[in-house]
Amino acid sequence: MPTCLHCGKPLGGDSVLCYSCRSVESVVDVDASVRERVERYLIVASLRCADCGDIHGTVTVDGTKYTATDFGIDSVGDWEQELDKEADWMREHRDDVTAALALLADEWPRSVAAVRETVL
């Protein structure tokens, strides 16, 4: 049975957040710069191919296409360095990042779950 990405309660429907967390989400105040930085991390993380491990993906968010070049990434090493730097920042700002992840969970359910498990 799927569970809420924010609190871990069992879910009854399609959502990735339970009713309580969706309600809290509407009143949670997340600084726009934090949300944007977390979403940027999710985009960059998605640029590496899950099948072959190379950087050749294109990620489309709200109609805008992003490639590794948009972030100055030319190699897997650049990609790893960027993610490590951002992961360190996310750990330092854990509370703000946790709130931002709740706002991004519907759009990025698997990525948000991965950040919660591996970064935070």
pLDDT per residue as tens digits for the range 102-120: 889 888 999 999 999 999 8
Residues 6+ apart with CB under 8 A from 14: none
First to last CA, the chain: 23
Q: Which residues of the chain have pLDDT under 70?
A: 1, 5-6, 12-17, 19-20, 22-28
Structural tokens at position 33: 């710069």
Single-letter code of the amino acid located at 47: L
Domain ranges of the chain: 30-118
